[in-house]
Amino acid sequence: MLKAGLIGNPSDPLMQAVIRYPRFEITGFLDPVGYLHGKNCHGVPEYPSEQELIENNDVLIFGNAVPAIKGFITEALKRSRHLMLLETDELSSHDISCLLKLREESHTVIHARKTARANPALEACFPMIVHPLHLEIRMMVPENRTGNHGPDIDRDLLKITDVILSICRSNVKKINALKQPGRFEALGFMSARVEFDNGSVASIIHSTLTGSRRFEADIYQKNMLLKADLQHKKLEISEKNKDRAKLNNRTIRFKPTDDIYLNDDLERFCHSAITLSTDGRDLFEIYKRAELSALIRQKAGFEN
């Protein structure tokens, strides 16, 4: 078993999934912002300092890798500790490029958890995708959130681009985007179109003009339409048979639990940490996601 230290809140659902994972011996946690200092968190003891946590563990699990703890991450890598980052939404493409460089210099494993692409409704699509002709993504969120320069649109775009890059695996050729403001300086409505060198096209609709949350991806291929409901973990498949005379429809529903699509990441991280076999691909994909999100944001006219 690998000795693992937690950085973040052990009560968080993702952290709870890590605690339940059988290949980790959880030795304790550290809350870098101090909210949980002195509190009992599900029986997980608290480390008094970063140094003691680094010293007593083989791997470190970061609940949220924020720019403020880059020094902590750097020190852990210098001490040859392997890292898993559960959330990377607040890291810029520059932050991630720095992590890629540190990983190469320290010869350690840095595994960044997949986000939207790990949704079981989307993962089920991958074996059926040959060449996506068109991808349409709709994300609807209630408007009572932060303004158009706040973190929520950034996080939404990261989830959207994670879906796009997991399906349209080619270089970006062209981006067009626009936004219309809503009430209270909130986002309102944004649309974007991303064209790829292989001919695939992705269109995005993001709107706060709704009363309920939706996150859907429609994937159009020759003779097949895949409709992935990422919010409710459901996949609808419409496929023409070989003679194109009949349309076959079926629906798959998935159990809504974090463990389903986190355990695969944990298993791959453990294997990489034990064998020291990693190519940094997960972290590089996170970098490409952040880069594309920033370009769409810029084209749409958001403030920096």
Examine the domain organization and report whether 125 and 233 are in the same domain.
yes
The answer to whether position 277 is within a domain reads: no
Examine the domain organization and report whether 159 and 207 are in the same domain.
yes
The answer to whether position 93 is within a domain reads: yes
**Which pair of tokens denotes residue 204?**
């995005």
Examine the domain organization and report whether 153 and 250 are in the same domain.
yes
- Which of the pair, 198 or 35, is modelled with greater confidence? 198
pLDDT tens readout for residues 5-31: 999 888 888 898 899 999 999 999 998
The answer to whether position 263 is within a domain reads: no
In this structure, are residues 158 and 115 in contact, taking their beta carbons and an 8 Å threshold?
yes
Examine the domain organization and report whether 95 and 127 are in the same domain.
no
Examine the domain organization and report whether 71 and 200 are in the same domain.
no
- Dist. CA 37–CA 64, nearest whole Å: 17
What letter would DSSP give residue 119?
Answer: -
Pick the last residue of a domain from 74, 108, 142. 108
The answer to whether position 265 is within a domain reads: no
Q: Is the pLDDT of residue 256 over 70?
A: no
Q: Is the pLDDT of residue 93 over 60?
A: yes
Examine the domain organization and report whether 137 and 227 are in the same domain.
yes
User: SS3 letters for 160-216?
Assistant: HHHHHHHHCCCCEEEEEEEEECCHHHCCCEEEEEEEECCCCEEEEEEECCCCCCEEE
Examine the domain organization and report whether 104 and 151 are in the same domain.
no
Q: Is the pLDDT of residue 150 over 50?
A: no
Provide mean pLDDT across the span 26-42.
75
Phi, psi at 257, each rounded to 5°: -140, 145
The answer to whether position 262 is within a domain reads: no
pLDDT tens readout for residues 47-89: 989 999 999 999 999 988 777 777 888 889 889 899 999 888 8
Helix, strand, coil content of the chain in percent (nearest 5): 35, 30, 35
The answer to whether position 278 is within a domain reads: no
In Å, what is the CA distance from 300 to each residue of 151, 179, 188?
A: 16, 6, 12
Domain that holds residue 141: 117-257+291-300
The answer to whether position 48 is within a domain reads: yes
Examine the domain organization and report whether 65 and 154 are in the same domain.
no
Examine the domain organization and report whether 85 and 164 are in the same domain.
no
The answer to whether position 264 is within a domain reads: no
Report the chain's mean pLDDT, rounded to a whole number: 85
The closest alpha carbon to 286, from 103, 126, 40, belongs to 103
The closest alpha carbon to 193, from 180, 181, 178, belongs to 178
Examine the domain organization and report whether 213 and 85 are in the same domain.
no
CATH of the domain at 101: 3.40.50.720
Q: Is the pLDDT of residue 298 over 70?
A: yes
Pick the last residue of a domain from 108, 130, 164. 108
Q: Is the pLDDT of residue 40 over 80?
A: no
Domain count, the chain: 2
Q: Is the pLDDT of residue 144 over 80?
A: no
CATH of the domain at 253: 3.30.360.10
Q: Which of 18-32, 97-111, 112-126 shows the highest mean pLDDT?
A: 18-32
pLDDT given at position 262: 77
The closest alpha carbon to 164, from 121, 222, 204, belongs to 204
- Dist. CA 283–CA 274, nearest whole Å: 18
pLDDT given at position 185: 47
pLDDT given at position 277: 75
pLDDT given at position 104: 83
Pick the last residue of a domain from 83, 108, 133. 108
Looking at the chain, the whole-number percentage of residues with pLDDT higher than 70 is 87
Examine the domain organization and report whether 131 and 177 are in the same domain.
yes
Examine the domain organization and report whether 152 and 17 are in the same domain.
no
